[in-house]
Structure 1
């Protein structure tokens, strides 16, 4: 048993319960108690002194492309389509070794910034590259994060009216078969699962309607979730209007891609009708504020989505369009971008924290066991240090975390296991990961 005590606690439960001086008790992989003051129970439990800290649920990353950690810094002034055209030929050369090095480094960086559960959207499968999905699942197991890899796919090449070159697309039937194989091999539907698979064709401009429809049918027949990029840029909006005669959200709905088992990456360019359809169908959104800013894609209408009761989580997105790869910093970025769009009342610090925790859990269909500090939920807990120079004098600990500089971690637990202790990884060697990533990046260059 582990007792974290003497800390501020933001549970992010439905009532918004907080304790200025409280405790969280963990037994095995579950939270068994949360409350105010010191814990008066088992005196033999391992005690963690949380004074000067804030305990929150572990952060949930709802969108990523981990292989891109080996291709950071490219196409620095490009919009999405130009950025993709520069990077597709580089990505055509990735292999299992590259993906493992990139995924391990990216997941380690996420852990160091408070993330306990991460998705990954992997859609580039060059011929002869090895088992890329296995490579990143092995990396997640080594780092110790809960992992939701999304088996992506592209089958619409440039010669057929899409954006990607032939070198990075798959045959439609082969992509569907490989997706089914990934579900059979890796998906764990059990409570407390460390690995779950989602089905994730890439985007309207890289995937045929047939693959979108049949992928949705496959996911629903297998009982797994669906994920794709949608409504990220004005260029995508124009593409959908010209090629399909409708908006991206209308296109997705026509193909069976709205529903409470779907979450969409970005959703920047939405009109009122599109937001209403997402709300009516329970479709979730992965908001990626830093990536949207890096590519100049625009600012997602987060306030409008929340007011419509659309599930919204946070995503770091691929490291080639968000080189920092830090999820904790996205709390502040989300708040700032919402206020740039809608004014200083558009998003509060606590709403931003909810996006990064329970909102992300809702997108992944795991809000019954992740995303808040409540008895019975998984012991995925971030204990942030707020007693340093960067946060001194901010009385409200949640405001200190969201408005202040990046807070170091006193402790990060995933299922009760320590992944970060006192700002350092306890599962893997960060120096070794950095060296491996640098070698992989040099090979690609």
Structure 2
């Protein structure tokens, strides 16, 4: 168990309950756990000693919603000018050609970008399993996460409602309920670790109302609760989804979740834009969480989350980057700023403050994942998950008056200077430790290009052109 000592920071932004800051402070950790933080610590040395003079230390950001496999379908001209349903239909025809190596490489690229921008814990929603490909694709993501050293929360997603049954996805990327439940059970039993400083927790995550059956929702909920793991799905993302639920089910999306056992303090939804006033209060009362994905919601013209209403109603609210193809990146630090700006634009002074936006991406996100006993803030007893920014950068000159607000109010145009997960340095001087980034980028781009070429030949679509 290694020890870590960070000395003489310009400031340590803890995001604890009192929003305590320690200008000139230090932090000491043993293994994953912070043992002391503040001034005049009784520790002079450690296995890793970092002189943080001039650096601002922040709690690691926590990503509550992602689709890492989508990293290889970013910036595709044919899919750029679409809203959600058309966007999905276009990309399903590419995703159906994924191979296990594609999943591994796309996860390594996406998780690497998250780490380089201050994210220390990432949840992922993997739900696309092409016919004829090994069902153990989520294992490829887990391997990538282990190699990079990020705290990981993969959710075993699923789709069983293909086009032939009235759903949105092609049948070729759906699975039967029996196959889904069997593999979900395997993933939980093989990987889930519920301990506070776990590096890997697992969730259960049927995709969405328009791609899964009622039976799958019910059986997935039973399975998740029998193992005590959390539950995740997309909900209330678009008006098209709302219309689908009305037309096919005769219910609003949240009513459908209530009917199938998908509410409670072990559930979180991605997006949640179109909940009405009464539904928001029901969410707060039952303990549901929501992953807010501002960039994705803007790109796909989905809408704007009623963030202040949710916070006032006690809804657990966190940040997510969403799928890389609807962002088109994996930068949660950018989402902190996007959330701040978006809600200032749409809600004025009733929107998020800059510091609140950082809180949503740290403490708020930890509550959404049910992990706030160990991550989300910097204080004794919690994990040494953090990132540092050099306040001496040119882009911060003239802006060093509110260190807690800096990430949202000013933003960061390049990777953070250091990221630490569980007391271990995983990003140093803005680069991943132990990873040849250039080699990874070359191999990843070649893999992405192969997927696109295969899909183009199969569908006859020129994905390199914009739609007319």
Gaps of 5+ in 1: none
Partner residue, 1:21 = 24
How far is the alpha carbon of 1:72 from its aligned partner? Answer: 0.8
Q: Which deviates more, 86-95 or 420-429?
A: 420-429
TM-score by structure 1 length? 0.97
2:28 and 2:43 in contact (8 A); partners too: no
Q: Which deviates more, 173-182 or 78-87?
A: 173-182
Q: Which deviates more, 380-389 or 229-238?
A: 380-389
Partner residue, 1:42 = 43
Partner residue, 1:329 = 334
How far is the alpha carbon of 1:400 from its aligned partner? Answer: 1.9
Partner residue, 2:253 = 248
Large movers: runs of 4+ above 6 Å: none
Partner residue, 1:233 = 238
1:34-73 to structure 2, matched below 5 A, reads 34-35=37-38, 37=39, 39-45=40-46, 46-73=48-75
Cα distance in structure 2, aligned partners of 1:41 and 1:359: 32
Gaps of 5+ in 2: 453-468
2:196 and 2:371 in contact (8 A); partners too: no
How far is the alpha carbon of 1:19 from its aligned partner? Answer: 2.1
Partner residue, 2:405 = 399
Cα distance in structure 1, aligned partners of 2:415 and 2:147: 21
Match of 2:193 among 181, 188, 203: 188
Cα distance in structure 2, aligned partners of 1:329 and 1:409: 12
Encode CA deviations 1:10-47: one digit per residue, 9 max, x unaligned: 11111111123222212221111111x4x442222343
2:358 and 2:405 in contact (8 A); partners too: no
Cα distance in structure 2, aligned partners of 1:66 and 1:337: 24
SS in 1 for 2:121: strand
1:386 and 1:401 in contact (8 A); partners too: no
1:46-445 to structure 2, matched below 5 A, reads 46-74=48-76, 75-130=79-134, 131-394=136-399, 395-406=401-412, 408-445=415-452
SS in 2 for 1:32: strand
Cα distance in structure 2, aligned partners of 1:200 and 1:82: 22
How far is the alpha carbon of 1:127 from its aligned partner? Answer: 2.4
Cα distance in structure 2, aligned partners of 1:112 and 1:405: 14
How far is the alpha carbon of 1:350 from its aligned partner? Answer: 1.4
2:71 and 2:329 in contact (8 A); partners too: no
Cα distance in structure 2, aligned partners of 1:436 and 1:206: 32
What number of residue pairs does the alignment pair up? Answer: 443
SS in 2 for 1:21: coil
Cα distance in structure 1, aligned partners of 2:36 and 2:418: 18
Cα distance in structure 1, aligned partners of 2:57 and 2:83: 38
**Structure 1 residues 408 and 66: CA distance shift in structure 2, 3 A:** closer
1:390 and 1:405 in contact (8 A); partners too: no
**Does 1:9 pair with 2:15?**
no
Encode CA deviations 1:147-166: one digit per residue, 9 max, x unaligned: 01100000001111110111
Cα distance in structure 2, aligned partners of 1:408 and 1:322: 17
Cα distance in structure 1, aligned partners of 2:213 and 2:279: 22
Cα distance in structure 1, aligned partners of 2:386 and 2:105: 26
How far is the alpha carbon of 1:337 from its aligned partner? Answer: 1.4
